Amino acid sequence: MYLQLSLLSLLSAFLLFQVQPMISKFILPWFGGSPGVWTTCMLFFQIVLFAGYAYAHLLTKLQRRTQFIVHGVLVIAALICLPISPSDSWKPAGDEDPVGRILLLLLGTVGLPYFVLSSTSPLSQVWFTRSLPGQQPWRLYALSNLGSLAALLTYPFIIEPTLDVTQQTWWWSGGFAVFALLSMYLSQRSSKIEPTVIEDVSAIHDERPPWWKRVLWVLLPALASVLLLATTNHVCQDVAVVPFMWVAPLSLYLITFIICFEHERWYVRSVWAFLAVVAILIAGLDKAIHANTEWDPTPNFLAEMAWCFGAMFFSCIVCHGELAKLKPGASRLTEFYLFMSGGGALGGLLVSLVAPRVFVTYLEWPLGLMAALLVAIAALVVALWGIQKRLIRGALVVLFVAHGVFALMKMSELTLKVDERIERVRNFYGAVNIDEDWDDGLENTYRTLTHGGIIHGMQNLGVANREEPVTYYGRDSGVGLCLASLKDQPEARVGIVGMGAGTTACYARKGQQWRFYEINPDISRLARKHFTYLADAENRGAKIETIIGDARLMLEREPDQRFDVLLLDAFSGDAIPVHLLTKEAFAIYRRHMKPDGIIVVHVTNSYLALAPVVEKLADHIGWKTTRVIADEDGDIDSTDYVMVTLNETHLATTPHHRPEDPEPLDVPLWTDKRHDLFQILMRD
């Protein structure tokens, strides 16, 4: 029976963690491609995992025959829910709370199957102790984590490139059917095993854990969960909201469980705690290190990701290693898992629901690092306490504690300081702030709108220059040339996906109709409150409309707009909304364009070569492309735009620019169900 239980643990864990990136990717286009989609999904999965562990804990209190009947009915009910593909009826209208909608969608599609899967790990270990009394089940838990890791590693490298998301959900549903049969068979076999003397004696002699152990059973996994989600948010804000950016930290998180629970000898407290301290300090103080030494620990985004993931990994090793040292006897394992999963859910609640409502920036990342540093230093002190020589022991303890206090003070000073801004806002779609500075070089006062770490709008406040386009929208940029070509067309219609500060409205003229699509309602409010671009355009006689909601969903439902120019400029930080660059999205755009209209795509990006993707999409719809790459000049940033059009006049007057660095030549056509960012990742 051990082999069969091992297979059940592997299969259930594999399905449990395969469905997380799968269903998250499925619904990502429906909610604007925000990093908040993944953290909300993770919150749901952590809460259901806690519910599954609670169910397993309560189920084992029933008579064994009753356990089989109850669990069998639940498994059959979960089978009825298959397949798990969300129907289009779950698509949001665009004006509701995205968090609530996502949670309801997940509950209605994958909720019951996931609940059944989540209860399997503790139940299989209970069945193990029944069939092999006196044996420890913890290796079975490490085995289930190995199955989870296999699921996460195969998804971005095998499943995602091979199958589209609909095919993935059908494949997963078939795997769940196999799991259901095996689970019911083992549940039935377990119900027939009579209690043994060894089981009864074990239950009697497993002492009731003290309250402080139970508190640590919750707090240690809660901290690890906070670090997992905060790290994922931190990385996704500046790269892209894609499964790999979710899978990498989650895989490292699971590896820490495998290391700590497979065998006690793998967690060497002093070694892992020391590595955690080093990684946390480098990740949290990288800018201070570079400023005071010749070494730059984060010269590029790959190095920054490595240190962020490293700090999270070593911190989770310490949290889970200390947790493993506190595990109880086998008879209390469902209680232990219940508290542990409750801690994971608590961490998810703190990052997904509490932090966006309490913090105006992503303070949960540095706060999580500081809490992890405290835990790592405490673990080091405990390890050093075992040194026999008092003098050496005392000196080392004082040294590490003193350095720890100094590091915490430095991290607090550098990472928790929230600079004063004119206004700060944080919501589901990210953190935005409004700032105002005097630029000595340009001798002007500028007001800026920053999203994440990227400026997404700026205005020269001088009366003579406030209607002049700056940053990415200069007159020599691709979008500047397209919009300027409409100056003598009072009937022109323009669509802008992504409002920012409204800078593009500098090109609006009397009689023209400009339609801005903005998913973040706070952006629209801030653009009106702190910048004059939109009001100035209206004063010139242009008609300005603002549509709140995901642009693609709104355009999909609207009648044909007959745009002369449609600009795609919806970025969050340096992350890209992939769902706006797919075959299905461009079919929607083409419907809204005039025969000679121009789709302008802003492809400026630090990490991804997006131009080949757009060119492939243009070729698919039978349109031509040209490209304008403009250099930085004063308050004009360097930009890269690709124009998609059948307008021969525009193509003839706008020669195609070639990039200096080589780009991928054969990028597959992106679709909603299949797209691969690895192929366009810039390594330099």
What's the mean per-residue pLDDT of the chain? 86
Distance CA 316, CA 252 (A): 9
pLDDT average, residue stretch 153-182: 89
Both tokens assigned to 170:
């059908």
Distance CA 482, CA 564 (A): 9
Distance CA 684, CA 682 (A): 6
On the question of pLDDT at 135 being above 70, the answer is no
- Using CA atoms, how far residue 76 sits from 60, 72, 83, 189, 190, in Å, is 19, 6, 13, 17, 18
pLDDT average, residue stretch 155-181: 89
The predicted structure's pLDDT at residue 590: 97
* Beta partners for residue 432, in sequence order: 425, 451
On the question of pLDDT at 201 being above 50, the answer is no
Helix (H), strand (E), coil (C) string for 195-258 = CCHHHHHHHHHCCCCCHHHHHHHHHHHHHHHHHHHHHHHHHHCCCCCCHHHHHHHHHHHHHHHH
The per-residue DSSP string of 429-484 comes to TEEEEEEEEEETTTTEEEEEEEETTEEEEEEE-STTTTTS--BTT-TTSHHHHHHH
Both tokens assigned to 205:
């002699």
Distance CA 73, CA 117 (A): 14
CA proximity to 125, closest of 333, 397, 297, 338: 333
Lowest mean pLDDT among 304-318, 365-379, 399-413, 465-479: 399-413
Percent of the chain with pLDDT over 70: 90
How long is the chain? Answer: 684
The predicted structure's pLDDT at residue 202: 46
Burial of 1 (0-12, 13-18, 19+ CB in 10 A): middle
Burial of 660 (0-12, 13-18, 19+ CB in 10 A): exposed
Cβ atoms within 10 Å of 429's Cβ, excluding its own: 23
Cβ atoms within 10 Å of 279's Cβ, excluding its own: 24
Q: Give pTM, 2 decimals.
A: 0.78
- Using CA atoms, how far residue 177 sits from 51, 70, 301, in Å, is 22, 18, 42
The predicted structure's pLDDT at residue 54: 92
> pLDDT (tens digit, 9 = 90+) per residue, 532-578?
999 999 999 999 999 998 898 899 999 999 999 999 997 654 556 78
Longest dimension (CA), the chain: 93
Lowest mean pLDDT among 331-335, 343-347, 489-493, 617-621: 331-335
CA proximity to 148, closest of 257, 266, 49: 257
> pLDDT (tens digit, 9 = 90+) per residue, 202-232?
444 456 888 899 999 999 999 999 999 998 8
Give Cβ neighbours of residue 151 (< 8 Å, ≥ 6 apart). 13, 14, 15, 16, 17, 18
Distance CA 37, CA 98 (A): 8
Distance CA 473, CA 469 (A): 6
Q: Considering only residues 412 and 181, tell me which one the structure prediction assigns the higher pLDDT.
A: 181
The per-residue DSSP string of 534-552 comes to HHHHHHTT-EEEEEES-HH
Distance CA 681, CA 605 (A): 10
Asked if 363 and 411 touch (Cβ cutoff 8 Å), the reply is no
Lowest mean pLDDT among 197-201, 228-232, 448-452, 616-620: 197-201
Q: In what order do the strands lie in the sheet with 639-645?
A: 543-548, 513-518, 493-497, 563-568, 593-602, 639-645, 624-630
Cβ atoms within 10 Å of 194's Cβ, excluding its own: 7
Domains of the chain listed by start with CATH number: 1-201 (1.20.1250), 206-418 (1.20.1250), 470-680 (3.40.50.150)
> pLDDT (tens digit, 9 = 90+) per residue, 80-127?
999 898 888 888 876 667 888 899 999 999 999 999 999 998 888 888
Cβ atoms within 10 Å of 569's Cβ, excluding its own: 22
The predicted structure's pLDDT at residue 204: 45
R_g (Cα) of the chain, nearest Å: 28
Distance CA 543, CA 526 (A): 19
CA proximity to 283, closest of 259, 254, 316, 305: 305
Peptide bond into 83 cis (omega under 30): yes
Confidence of residue 507 (pLDDT cuts 50, 70, 90): very high
Give the SS3 label for residue 30: helix
Lowest mean pLDDT among 54-63, 176-185, 624-633: 54-63
